[in-house]
Amino acid sequence: MMDRKWRWSVLGVLALPALAMTLIACGGGDKAATPAATADTKAPAAAATAAKEKPAPIVLKVDTVWSSKGMTDAEKTAKSCVQTSRVKPGETIGWRVKVIDTATGKALDESAIEAAAFKITVPGASDVPAIKYGDHGGKPPTDSFWSTWWTVPDKQPTGVLPWTISVTTKDGRTAEAKNDTFNVPSSWLTVVAKS
């Protein structure tokens, strides 16, 4: 009987310091551990709040293509939505735009942007139609993006056509793309003479 009491006494003496260390490590008995634990939980919460206050930037992916406006069916098959940087007076150029959320890598649609939030500037053009979001690429559609088009007037001077597209999302983020994003003048949208 004495052996049994002695064993429990020894176990109690050994277990008491282990229990005390566990409580201290977990902040359960040492008041000094509480502020550190509080600071550790405040830092991620503050970072999360800051992230909510300032959303990730957006970027624009833009290209210019032949628009199918005014094309014959044969021309549509060969030229519609083909990238180009050369257009003649009387031809129609299209802009395809994707607004990318850098936090997710995903393109933004009408739930994040109103069409009226786009500003498209083309020198000498007061009639660029409003940009619209929609499906493209056939039936079934293969992609969805923002787009608009412009028919080059017959009196449009030849030369580089320096366009600018800017947008503001519903949560206030902004981005801009220009004709001269790449410093390669031969790739810039250019009006050439009718042949």
pLDDT at 29: 45
Report how far residue 144's alpha carbon sits from residue 102's, in angstroms, rounded to the nearest whole number. Answer: 18
- pTM for the model stands at 0.70
Q: Return the pLDDT at 68.
A: 85
**pLDDT given at position 30:** 45
Domain positions in the chain: 2-53, 58-191
Q: What is the mean pLDDT of each run of 10 residues along the chain (195 residues)?
A: 49 44 44 49 60 83 90 86 93 95 96 94 86 91 94 92 95 94 90 90
Q: For the chain, what is the HEC assignment? A: CHHHHHHHHHHHHHHHHHHHHHHHHCCCCCCCHHHHHHHHHHHHHHHHHHHHHCCCCEEEEEEEEECCCCCCHHHHHHHCCCECCEECCCCEEEEEEEEEECCCCCECCCCCCCHHHEEEECCCCCCCCCCEEEEECCCCCCEEEEEEEEECCCCCCCEECCCEEEEECCCCCEEEEECCCCCCHHHCCEECCCC
Assigned architecture for domain 58-191: Sandwich (2.60)
pLDDT of residue 104: 95
